[in-house]
Amino acid sequence: GLLLGVLFGAIVTWWFSVNGFAYPGMDEMAAKFNLPARFYPQLSPLTLVLGPLVVLLFTLIASFYPALRLHRLQPVEAMRAL
């Protein structure tokens, strides 16, 4: 799932980097802040690696505590709880 998400995100970002995207109805506000009418995101190798690593790290951290509790649990006690 992680690799498919990275691949899909890279494709979508590449498409927007070529075509750009605009915020309809925001032209006046963009002009006040000296922003362009269209935005063109950039894709970097750091972004492709750092995002999935952060997701993987938080997934491992979130799964550590339940795994630790399950490891300490005796099978007989677990069956009684059901």
pLDDT digits (tens, 9 = 90+) for 22-40: 888 887 888 888 888 888 9
Q: What was the pLDDT predicted at 23? A: 82
C-alpha 39 chain-centroid distance:
20
Asked if residue 34 and residue 12 are part of one domain, the reply reads: yes
Structural domain range at position 67: 44-82
Q: How far apart are CA 44 and CA 75, in angstroms?
A: 48
Average pLDDT on 35-64 reads 91
Asked if residue 50 and residue 82 are part of one domain, the reply reads: yes
Mean pLDDT of the chain: 88
Residue 77 has pLDDT above 80, yes or no: no
Asked if residue 53 and residue 26 are part of one domain, the reply reads: no
Most confident of 15-19, 64-68, 78-82: 15-19
> How many domains does the chain divide into?
2
Asked if residue 79 and residue 52 are part of one domain, the reply reads: yes
pTM of the model: 0.64
The alpha carbon torsion through 11, 57, 61, 78 (nearest 10 deg) reads: 60
